[in-house]
């Protein structure tokens, strides 16, 4: 048998990068979702939670230390996920340069078919989301003062999601995330070799759909509750 070759750099290795970084995102999304749901506890609870995220681990960590650790892990994961995705996308394009005149997709789910462009759309949304709630915090809703928005995360969130078109934007983005996860979570398990039997394969698909649904619903509850004035007034 031929020696001297390595598993590193192979297409399957790139898939391991996709899968592990993807699982980092799932973990982060679940924590983020938990934080968002604190909005149902009222202004004080939500603002305290946001403050505690920054003082977490003090004095062992500096102010905002935990957030920066999380951010660095996320940035590294995005770079890895994107690098592997683009490399594999490019390979796939090169593997069939003459297209079929007629080609049916018999087994592909909507989620699996939209992984690549859906991923690009999610990246665009994440950039907007960071500008919206972290970097710029623009005062889009004229009913709220810019000072109040910067001072209280609760006010910032309420001001944003009282606007129907902003909620619509986030609903569309969350559906895109849900579609991406419905295939991605299953795909990560398959890639990591956790689905070596029929039963575990079916279970992996079910886990993928369930977690995707949980994340979509969990993230959409606060904006919709604010839009319909259940909270925030």
Partner 1 sequence: MTTTTHEAEVAAAPREEGLMNLTLKIWRQNGPRDNGRLVTFKVKDISPDMSFLEMLDVLNEQLQAEGTEPIAFDSDCREGICGMCGLMISGEAHGPEKTTTCQLHMRSFKDGETITIEPWKADPFPVIKDLVVDRGSFDRIIQAGGFISANTGAAPKAEAILVPKENADRAFVAAECIGCGACVAACPNASGMLFMGAKITHLGELPQGQPERDARVVSMVNQHDAEGFGGCTNIGECSHACPKGIPQDVISTLNKDLRTALKRGR
Paired tokens of 81: 């996920």
Q: How many CA atoms lie within 13 A of 182 on its CB side?
A: 17
**Sole binder of partner 1 in the list 66, 156, 195, 216 (CB under 8 A):** 195
Q: Determine how many CB atoms are found less than 10 A away from the CB of residue 131.
A: 12
Paired tokens of 191: 């890639």
Tell me the closest approach of the beta carbon of residue 228 to partner 1, in angstroms.
Answer: 38
110 binds partner 1 (CB under 8 A): no
- For residues 96 and 142, which CB has a smaller minimum distance to partner 1 in the complex? 96
Q: Determine how many CB atoms are found less than 10 A away from the CB of residue 182.
A: 24
Contact between 22 and 191 (Cβ < 8 Å): no
83 binds partner 1 (CB under 8 A): no
101 binds partner 1 (CB under 8 A): yes
User: CA-CA distances (angstroms) from residue 178 to 44, 86, 91, 111, 115?
Assistant: 30, 21, 26, 8, 11
- For residues 84 and 176, which CB has a smaller minimum distance to partner 1 in the complex? 84
106 binds partner 1 (CB under 8 A): yes
- For residues 1 and 60, which CB has a smaller minimum distance to partner 1 in the complex? 1
Binding site for partner 1 (CB under 8 A): 1-3, 5-8, 10-16, 88, 91-92, 94-109, 112-113, 115, 183, 186-187, 190-198, 200-201
């Amino acid at each position: 048998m031929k020696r001297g070759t390595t598993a590193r750099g192979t297409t399957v290795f790139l898939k391991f990068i996709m899968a592990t970084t993807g699982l980092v995102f799932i973990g982060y999304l679940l924590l983020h979702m938990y934080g968002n749901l604190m909005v149902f506890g009222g202004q004080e609870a939500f603002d305290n939670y946001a403050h505690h995220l920054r003082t977490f681990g003090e004095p062992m960590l500096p102010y905002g230390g935990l957030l920066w650790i999380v951010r660095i892990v996320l940035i590294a994961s995005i770079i890895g996920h994107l690098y592997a995705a683009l490399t594999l996308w490019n390979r796939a394009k090169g593997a069939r340069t003459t297209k079929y005149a007629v080609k049916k997709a018999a087994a592909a789910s909507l989620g699996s078919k939209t992984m690549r462009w859906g991923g690009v759309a999610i990246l665009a949304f994440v950039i907007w989301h960071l500008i919206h709630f972290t970097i710029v915090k623009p005062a889009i809703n004229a009913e709220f003062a810019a000072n109040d928005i910067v001072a209280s995360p609760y006010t910032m969130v309420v001001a944003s999601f009282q606007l129907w078109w902003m909620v619509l934007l986030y609903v569309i983005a969350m559906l895109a995330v849900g579609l991406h996860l419905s295939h991605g979570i299953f795909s990560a398990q398959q890639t990591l070799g956790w689905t070596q039997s029929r039963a575990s394969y079916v279970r992996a698909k079910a886990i993928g759909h369930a977690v995707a649904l949980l994340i979509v619903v969990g993230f959409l509850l606060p904006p919709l509750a604010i839009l319909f004035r259940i909270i925030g007034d």
